[in-house]
A = this chain, B = another copy of it.
Amino acid sequence: MTSGKLISGKEVAQHNSRESCWIIVHGKVYDVTEFLDGGSKIVLKYAGKDATQEYDPIHPPDAITTNLPPQKHLGPVEPNTVEKVKIEITDEEKERQVRVSNRPHLDEILNLHDFEAIAKQVMTDKAWAYYSSAADDEITNRENHAAYHRIWFRPQVLVDVTKVDFSTKLLGHKSSMPIYITATALGKLGHPDGELNLTRAATKHGVIQMIPTLASCSFDEIVDAAQPDQVQFLQLYVNKDRSITKNIVQHAEERGIKGLFITVDAPQLGRREKDMRMKFTDDDPSAVKDTGSGGIDRSQGAARAISSFIDPGLKWDDLEWFKSITKMPLILKGIQRWEDALRAYDLGLAGVVLSNHGGRQLDFARSGIEVLVEVVTNFKAKRGISFPNEKFQLFVDGGVRRATDVLKAIALGATAVGIGRPFLYAFSSYGQEGVEKALTILRDELEMNMRLLGAQTLKDVGPDLVDTSNISAHLATIPADRLYDNNYESMRHAKLRALKDQSKL
């Protein structure tokens, strides 16, 4: 428990070791000595210092007070006694800031890919690595988008499409589009307002935001930022300590959350090597040298550092307990095979999200859109029910970049599609305005493509509008014969006269 006395920065500065480690966050001093673990190296870097700047993008403001026992809250630091942590702006950072100031005008952003292209250039390397990384060789990550390329349209013509309406309902709640903002962690890495960018843009566009457990804004901040009638869902990582989970769930229900999406594809958070590699680039090379291979385990990206609380023991039997603690509709997020979707249905849940966690968990997991086809087929065969279906809703996420992707999922039976990274890239590049622009683009594309498909409402977007015959063709072409190919000389086209000299390949 803290006395009212101010602690001097000098005193704090003495507790700068593994043996006694104090840090300052938002003007308060905390003793974190007993909580140093695998991720401790980063904490130690700030031992005895003000860690606010490092703390903020990773943790919600209340994380430290919630997780640290009261007696470790040592009290406020005496202002102006804390030595500034001098932040050197590297040349690399300066170049990044030039790039930031040279962002193209938002009008020049024509599609969701554009946000990604800009974000890659204006985000810090660390934030980019965390957002863009995925499991192992990132094959599932890209397959998520590529799978949509194996679905083609069969548009119908001569339908009156003067007015098209693509509004819909998710778990009974209105959405202006068959799209929701799915849960993604650490929003402040990309923008100081973090997840609030999403909340505010969702308000304006009438879409639903799914609040992540690992938000860097606090849950209440995000709910507070919403309008009174704004619908929000909650994504839940289940804690090993179920009482914490119970608190979260019941608090969410009280605050008006309309659906609980329990993540089931992450008993352990994935190894994301792009993210992990960042650690070594970041750090002082001499330090790296010293720790040696027998030293502390440095091979953890941001993902691992923040997720040790997740319970790998979560199992089907636990779902009854969830039913007992909340009346919110329960949806399993991360279903990857029809058998599990059917089991969720038989247990009376409200739906499933066919998802592989954005390719961030198990590489070679199939895409949600492919699993959707198998789920719909098997529900028909085994339970005789069709989709979309109000009683049991199918959601899909991963790889969506265009309204055409969205409409393919709808045609195949999804109620709505979750989009994650594109919105992160949008606010990392342009804040809330970026997210709004992204939603505007999706709306424009949806309107256009509904017309071109000959569909007046989403009810018209059925399986006869798509050709999915190749959806399960996961084809890796065999390696080419490079000697033969090297020798082959490409065809040349006619050349301008002045350019003839260069006309040989």
Q: Is the CB of B484 within 8 A of A137?
A: yes
Interface residues of A in 460-498 (CB under 8 A from B): 464, 467, 469-470, 472-484, 486-498
Q: Is the CB of B337 within 8 A of A156?
A: yes
Question: Which chain B residues lie closer than 8 Å to A109 at the CB level?
Answer: 494
Q: Is the CB of A475 within 8 A of B150?
A: yes
Q: Is the CB of A476 within 8 A of B476?
A: no
Question: Which chain B residues lie closer than 8 Å to A281 at the CB level?
Answer: 500, 503
Contact of A157 among B102, B121, B336, B472 (CB under 8 A): B336
Q: Mark A307-322, 1 if CB is under 8 A from B, else 0.
A: 0000111111011000
Contact of A404 among B149, B312, B364 (CB under 8 A): B364
The answer, yes or no, to whether A50 is at the interface (CB within 8 Å) is no
Number of residues in A with C-beta < 8 Å to the partner?
A: 130
Query: Considering the chains assembled together, what is the distance between the CA atoms of A401 and B150 in angstroms?
Result: 25
Contact of A111 among B273, B289, B479 (CB under 8 A): B273
The answer, yes or no, to whether A225 is at the interface (CB within 8 Å) is no
Q: Is the CB of B449 within 8 A of A362?
A: yes
A101 to chain B, nearest CB (A): 9
Q: Is the CB of B156 within 8 A of A362?
A: no
Query: Considering the chains assembled together, what is the distance between the CA atoms of A477 and B293 in angstroms?
Result: 39
The answer, yes or no, to whether A154 is at the interface (CB within 8 Å) is yes
Chain B, residue nearest A289 (CB) = B105
Contact of A265 among B314, B332, B452 (CB under 8 A): B452
Query: Considering the chains assembled together, what is the distance between the CA atoms of A447 and B159 in angstroms?
Result: 42
The answer, yes or no, to whether A165 is at the interface (CB within 8 Å) is no
Q: Is the CB of A312 within 8 A of B102?
A: no
Looking at A116, A449, A487, which has the most chain B CB atoms within 10 Å of its CB? A487
Q: Is the CB of A487 within 8 A of B153?
A: no
Chain B, residue nearest A142 (CB) = B479
Q: Is the CB of A315 within 8 A of B469?
A: no
Q: Is the CB of B312 within 8 A of A451?
A: yes
Task: Known A116-B487, A451-B267, A493-B113; judge A478-B146 contact (CB<8 A).
Answer: yes
Q: Is the CB of B299 within 8 A of A364?
A: no
Q: Is the CB of A366 within 8 A of B274?
A: no
Query: Considering the chains assembled together, what is the distance between the CA atoms of A332 and B98 in angstroms?
Result: 53
Question: Which chain B residues lie closer than 8 Å to A396 at the CB level?
Answer: none
Looking at A118, A160, A408, A453, which has the most chain B CB atoms within 10 Å of its CB? A160
The answer, yes or no, to whether A193 is at the interface (CB within 8 Å) is no
The answer, yes or no, to whether A191 is at the interface (CB within 8 Å) is no
Q: Mark A360-403, 1 if CB is under 8 A from B, else 0.
A: 01111110000000000000000000000000000000000110
Question: Which chain B residues lie closer than 8 Å to A483 at the CB level?
Answer: 111, 113, 117, 137, 491, 493
Task: Known A155-B365, A267-B161, A267-B451; judge A143-B479 contact (CB<8 A).
Answer: yes
The answer, yes or no, to whether A42 is at the interface (CB within 8 Å) is no
Query: Considering the chains assembled together, what is the distance between the CA atoms of A493 and B361 in angstroms?
Result: 19
Query: Considering the chains assembled together, what is the distance between the CA atoms of A444 and B271 in angstroms?
Result: 9
The answer, yes or no, to whether A151 is at the interface (CB within 8 Å) is yes
Question: Which chain B residues lie closer than 8 Å to A464 at the CB level?
Answer: 339
Q: Mark A98-130, 1 if CB is under 8 A from B, else 0.
A: 110011111111110110111011000000000
Q: Is the CB of B452 within 8 A of A105?
A: no
Interface residues of A in 48-97 (CB under 8 A from B): none
A427 to chain B, nearest CB (A): 15
Q: Is the CB of A98 within 8 A of B498?
A: yes
A42 to chain B, nearest CB (A): 15
Task: Known A161-B313, A312-B160; judge A496-B102 contact (CB<8 A).
Answer: yes
Q: Is the CB of A102 within 8 A of B497?
A: yes
The answer, yes or no, to whether A433 is at the interface (CB within 8 Å) is yes
Query: Considering the chains assembled together, what is the distance between the CA atoms of A486 and B363 in angstroms?
Result: 18
Q: Which residues of A contact B (CB under 8 A)?
A: 98-99, 102-111, 113-114, 116-118, 120-121, 132, 136-139, 142-143, 145-147, 149-162, 264-265, 267-268, 270-271, 273-274, 276-277, 280-281, 285, 288-289, 291, 293, 295, 298-299, 311-316, 318-319, 332, 334-337, 339-340, 361-366, 401-402, 404, 408, 433, 437, 444-445, 448-449, 451-453, 464, 467, 469-470, 472-484, 486-500, 503
A-B contact pairs, 18 of them (CB 8 A): A105-B280, A114-B494, A136-B404, A137-B402, A146-B476, A146-B481, A147-B476, A149-B476, A150-B474, A150-B476, A152-B474, A156-B336, A157-B335, A274-B492, A364-B404, A365-B452, A469-B472, A475-B477
